[in-house]
Amino acid sequence: MDHRAFAFLLALAALLLLPGCYYDNEEELYPDTFCDTSAVTWSGTIEPLVQGNCAIPGCHVPGAQSPALTSYTAVKAVADEGKLLGVVIAGSPYFMPPSGKLPACDQNKVQTWLDAGAPQN
């Protein structure tokens, strides 16, 4: 076998053995990460998110950063001003929770609640 044929076969084998390009699909890789936004409520979904990420010591509580987000009325006012959307969804870097940006599913839940008019349910 001459060296050109050998080089061709070697190159062909290398191409066949190289992994192809692919794109990770999060839903296929992590099938249990379905985000259910069908039953988003203030009391069952949004209030716990606010209490766990915003209205925490040193942040949006009375005597700390303004506004205090310890009630539906306060959160609704921020939502109506469009500020909640800016912080939670757009990720305004100046007002993020200490833990960082909320996970995508939680962002989707907040967006769903806002799209419904931010009801107190």
To the question of pTM greater than 0.85 for the whole model, the response is: no
- Condensed to tens digits (0 to 9), the pLDDT of residues 26-85 reads 555 666 668 999 999 999 999 999 888 887 887 887 877 778 888 999 999 999 998 888
The pLDDT assigned to 89 comes to 72
Domain ranges of the chain: 3-115
Q: How far apart are CA 93 and CA 64, in angstroms?
A: 19
Alpha helices, H only, the chain: 3-17, 26-29, 47-53, 72-80, 83-84, 104-115
